[in-house]
Amino acid sequence: MVKKPDRLKFLEALDNAVDVFVDNSKNVYNNIIAISHNDADGISSLLIIQNLLYNLKKNFDYFIYNRSVSWAAYLNGILPKRQTEKTALIFTDIGSTLTELIPIITNRKEHFFILDHHEVENDVGLNDFPENLFFVNPTVYGFDGLDHIAGATLAYMFAKQISPSIINHAWLTAIGIAGDSLRSMDRLKSFNKEVYQELIDEELIEDREGLILFGGMHNSIKNGLKYSILPFVKQLGGEGDEKIKSFLNQLQINPNKKTSELEKSEIEAIQKNTNLKTGHYALIPQKEGLLKFVFEHALLLNILSFKNISAAVSMIQQKTITRYAKAIYIDYVNNLTKNLKKVYTELSRFETEKATFIDAGNGTIQPSNWSDTASFSMVNELTNPEKMLFLGGLERKTQMIKLSIRCSRKFIEINRGIGVNKVITQIKTELGGNGGGHKLAGGIRLSISSFNRLKNNIDQYIQFD
Ligand SMILES: [Mn+2]
């Protein structure tokens, strides 16, 4: 992995893919298959590509891949039985598991354009690609796939070179960036930052500064404090209305005032009494209500993607939120903030030098919520960011211990590159179990006896020599 981002080399790869696509889209391709990831960034990327193909008057099909089956099994159901160079495939925000994909692509006639920002496996030779693969992945050139460039940013850069009028749909990029980076907009870097600035300059996005309560920016300040997931408000998040109202009444702030309409003095009063920060957030001018707020819009898509993918694809094209989607959103932030409050105040912890275990079993937190609770506990530093977090418990149906494992970037720095995936690999080798993940997040299922051994010796599993 290159340390310093090589901008020129990356742009060269992008230009090359653009050139091939432009050359062939006129006379050769008559059908395009777009495949994207099932999250906010993936759906935004897909819509950018769909709009591009619409501009080019090309026939297209689209599919959304949730990684629950292998690429071989998945593509088997999508690729035409009769091979043809008249079909091209565009993958966005997905498709960097090259060990699986290269053997498939090698045996096909179609052109494959992979525009992805997920890291590539270490054991892939990047030089011996099949001739029909056009692989554009900024992480290969040293860019960070979260901070520097979202999947939608990359899809937009590709589409804009082919059809400049795609800029009319460029607001989609902001949703992808917000959904993946989970940061306020003033903290964007590199291509994300440049494209975001372009969106502001072109008035496709409205940039605002204010109190950051992501998850509840569209809401009243009362509900903003209660339902914010980034940050989780330590004293007030997931609390009852009375406690939050009395907090606001003491500061002489109307609890029903919109978070986005607070006066400067009101924001300062809240900040004096909490750890909250101000920052930049984005609005989509042509949308209404929750969908106007980019972060909340992205969060809604991320939630819907797991429950009802077609509702997610439909929602991004709508101006106002449906009652169905709104109910799912409220249910989600309500549960998540209640669970974060439990992690912060109630659940039993076991800590060693390098790890924190949180028992979320016995009905304290629903197993289906363990993963998100672990993620947002870590990003909100509800547990020590210098320790790896293991959150989970006994899963009734399997009688196994299921653990969601998370760490911070700081943890990886301190431990010289050891992240969640390496620890999981180590645990599987020593104790068995099933699981996997990437450097910041993953999960594993273990027998009860293996789990007890893990808990007693955890620091050894986070040490590599
Ligand atoms: Mn992405």
Q: What is the average pLDDT score of the chain?
A: 95
Cβ contact 379:371 at 8 Å: no
pLDDT at 17 over 60: yes
Cα–ligand 1 centroid distance for 150 (angstroms): 5
Using alpha carbons, list the distances in angstroms from residue 463 to 75, 267, 414: 39, 44, 12
Cβ contact 385:402 at 8 Å: no
User: Residue range 135-157: average pLDDT?
Assistant: 95
Cα–ligand 1 centroid distance for 69 (angstroms): 19
Report pLDDT for 261: 97
Nearest CA among 266, 257, 278 for reference residue 214: 278
In this prediction, residue 181 has a pLDDT band, given cuts at 50, 70 and 90, of confident
Cα–ligand 1 centroid distance for 434 (angstroms): 25
Report pLDDT for 128: 81
pLDDT at 268 over 90: yes
Report pLDDT for 159: 98
In this prediction, residue 1 has a pLDDT band, given cuts at 50, 70 and 90, of very low
Q: Residue 317, SS3?
A: coil
User: Residue range 309-323: average pLDDT?
Assistant: 97
In this prediction, residue 126 has a pLDDT band, given cuts at 50, 70 and 90, of confident
Structural fold of domain 347-461: Diaminopimelate Epimerase; Chain A, domain 1 (3.10.310)
Q: pLDDT for 165-179, tens place per residue? A: 999 999 999 999 999
Rounded Cα distance, 35 and 45, in Å = 10
Cβ contact 101:71 at 8 Å: yes
Nearest CA among 253, 288, 281, 254 for reference residue 268: 253
Cα–ligand 1 centroid distance for 360 (angstroms): 29
Residue type, 35: I
Cα–ligand 1 centroid distance for 152 (angstroms): 7
pLDDT at 2 over 50: no
Cα–ligand 1 centroid distance for 64 (angstroms): 13
Cα–ligand 1 centroid distance for 310 (angstroms): 18
In this prediction, residue 127 has a pLDDT band, given cuts at 50, 70 and 90, of confident
User: Residue range 232-257: average pLDDT?
Assistant: 97
Cα–ligand 1 centroid distance for 180 (angstroms): 6
Q: pLDDT for 97-106, tens place per residue? A: 899 999 999 9
Tokens, residue 82 = 């009769």
Phi, psi torsion values for 57, nearest 5 degrees: 55, 45
Structural fold of domain 7-201: inorganic pyrophosphatase (n-terminal core) (3.90.1640)
Any idea which residue has 């068995």 for tokens? 432
Report pLDDT for 465: 64
Cα–ligand 1 centroid distance for 295 (angstroms): 14
User: Residue range 240-265: average pLDDT?
Assistant: 97
Size of the chain in residues: 465
Asked whether this chain's domains 7-201 and 347-461 adopt the same fold, the reply is: no
Cα–ligand 1 centroid distance for 107 (angstroms): 27
pLDDT at 182 over 90: no
Cα–ligand 1 centroid distance for 125 (angstroms): 23
Using CB atoms within 10 A of its CB, is residue 230 exposed (0-12), middle (13-18) or buried (19+)? middle
Question: Which residues keep their CB under 5 angstroms from ion ligand 1?
Answer: 41, 93, 151, 180
Report pLDDT for 163: 98
Cα–ligand 1 centroid distance for 270 (angstroms): 34
User: Residue range 300-321: average pLDDT?
Assistant: 96
Radius of gyration of the chain (CA): 23
Domain ranges for the chain: 7-201, 206-339, 347-461
In this prediction, residue 464 has a pLDDT band, given cuts at 50, 70 and 90, of low
User: Residue range 252-275: average pLDDT?
Assistant: 97
Report pLDDT for 3: 67
Nearest CA among 233, 235, 232 for reference residue 377: 232
pLDDT at 67 over 90: no
Least confident window among 102-111, 371-380, 428-437: 428-437
